[in-house]
A and B are shown apart, each in its own frame.
Chain A
Amino acid sequence: MVRYQSAGLLLAGALSLLATTALAQQQATPAQPPAAAALPPGSPLIGRPDNNPAAAKLAPVPSPPLATAADKLPLDKLKAPKGFEIEVYASGMPNARSMVLDDKGTVFVGSRLQDKVYAITNKNGKREVKVLVSGLYRPNGVAFKNGTLYIAELSQISKIDNVEDKLDSSPKPTVIYNDLPKDEAHGWKYLAIGPDNKLYFEVGQPGNNVLHDSAHGQLRRINLDGSGAEVIAFGIRNTVGFDWNPKNKELYFTDNGRDWLSEDLPNDELNRITKIGQDFGAPYCYQGDIPDPDFGWGHSCSEFVPPVALMGPHAAALGMKFYTGTMFPAEYRGQILVARHGSWNKTKKFGGDIALVKLNKDGTVKSVEPFITGFLQPDNNYVARPVDVMNMPDGSILVSDDWNGAVYRVSYGSKKTAER
């Protein structure tokens, strides 16, 4: 008799935030019930209870592989507070993920499941989507500095110099750093350049809840030429979004919590780095106060740095930015906007919105509230899923949506059309 239920289950085969590893190292065996011991270390199924029909229905939600046609985008379903407008900035970019803006108004968009980095050019208000480069391996991370575009794939960081001159010439990126594991699970990367002019990216934990070696579960930085790699922070399960507080240059990052603990716990985290070498707890302690039932024995959550905010259960908090514009009302200025991609490991889904995180003067968090909603609908289905947030020079923001392969622009006040 088949032990597991199979009703409506979309599993490790699905397109997920928790894609599984192909080359997992041999690790200390987690204390799993015997039936689950056969699962490979990277599998998002590890920890899922047996013989539980409700649990058996939960699996990562596959995103549509083709971009939604512009006239079919669910703009009417996305909601923002009074005075805000949401419009389509660009569409037709399947699996549109992290974004970066260059100095000529071009927006580059990475992708996790497909092989492309897109460019949205903007000439005299006319926008056009191009494929800048294809044939890459999970090019989720993009960053830009001094004419050079940097791309983070699963296991290498590369660059394209003078990218603006090469938008139509299918440039071939040059690899600058590849001392990286090849694990699929949490292997895709967010990339950003700090105030110190270094490239920051993570190496995620190679599985839902696993012990790992010293090359995983961390945030690293390298010089722009790929040299000088250092580990900045430890105990990170998977961060796909981080940004520096303009006031004091402190780095804040989101971190996705483990699955198969319970419907409502743990929360995803928003963390703050105050010095190099801090440990944020994974996989021993989640959300600052939950010792992991498998690995927490012999440890205390007090050994680790707790989050500055809880971002909701299984919310999939991804890209985040400090809002640096002045277009939005005062209550938004200097606060953090976080894309919550939305849950899969929860029967009643959570997230699917852009959250507004308000800070106290000392950099701790005052509140977390939904700002732009509707990506997740009341019928418990996604019509869109936000991945990244980006400031535009005019004070509006862009939001990427990997479900539809589109980028939206959110503005405030009377100016409706996207201008430079």
Chain B
Amino acid sequence: MTDKGRLVRKSIAVLTLGCLTALPASAQTVKERLPTCLACHGENGQSKNPEVPSLGAQQVFYVTVQLLMFRERMRVVDPMNDMAKGLSDDDLRSLADFISKLPAPQPPDGPVDNARIERARTLVEKNHCNICHTATFAGQENVPHIADQREDYLIKALRGYKDNSRRGYDAAMADVIEPITDAQILDLAYYIARVK
């Protein structure tokens, strides 16, 4: 596990222990699990935890698919498999619905590197990111909302698609990421984390 992974794991362990109940995640109802979800992912759709994604305004279809993949272990990610364990299909639907209604994440404050932004804009057009993810990067149906997602999470996700360590429900991201270099991934993540 990477250092960052260890840090995330530790933060999650601390937060989980700070949670209300001592039951293992898989024994809890959706309602009981939600505080733990929000402890990591942020109460207002905005995650303050390294490499833990913001969930605000996420597409219902997309959330359903990701939770399904965690439940079925089609994606193996600590601690998400435990968090999704034992959830019924209806639980997935209601969680997805709840998450989609959280406020959209906001871009970080501070000066931006305009040269990077321009480089990234060119990449977006060339690779048609804005077709599936739409011009505002709000996504649609099975394509996620990525606007103002955490930069470190975007990097992690794109790298995961590139080296196949992250499995997509279908092959779309694996395919589009194929010609993109790591340096370009960094620029793309920088830009998308800051779209206004």
Contacts and interface: CB of A to CB of B under 8 A. Distances in A.
Interface of A: 2-4, 6, 8-16, 19-24, 38-40, 42-43, 45, 56, 59, 62, 65-67, 94, 113-116, 134-135, 184-185
B119 interface: no
Given A4-B130, A9-B132, A14 B171 contact: no
Interface in B38-93: 61, 64-65, 68, 72-74, 89, 92-93
A20 B126 CA distance: 17
A116 to B, nearest CB: 8
Nearest to A69: B89
A48 B74 CA distance: 32
A133 to B, nearest CB: 12
B100 to A, nearest CB: 15
Interface residues of B, number: 35
Contacts of A8: 140
Given A22-B164, A40-B179, A6 B142 contact: no
The DSSP consensus for interface residues of chain A is: loop
A6 B131 contact: yes
B3 interface: no
Contacts of B109: none
Contacts of A2: 125, 130, 135
Given A14-B141, A66-B93, 8 more contacts: A6-B131, A10-B132, A10-B142, A13-B133, A21-B175, A22-B174, A62-B141, A185-B175
A94 B131 CA distance: 28
B174 A13 contact: no
B172 interface: yes
Nearest to B179: A40
Contacts, number: 114
Interface of B: 61, 64-65, 68, 72-74, 89, 92-93, 125-128, 130-135, 140-143, 164, 169-176, 178-179
B170 to A, nearest CB: 5
B93 to A, nearest CB: 7
A66 B178 CA distance: 29
B178 A22 contact: yes
B175 A67 contact: no
A13 B132 contact: yes
Contacts of B178: 21-24, 40
Contacts of B68: 65-66, 94
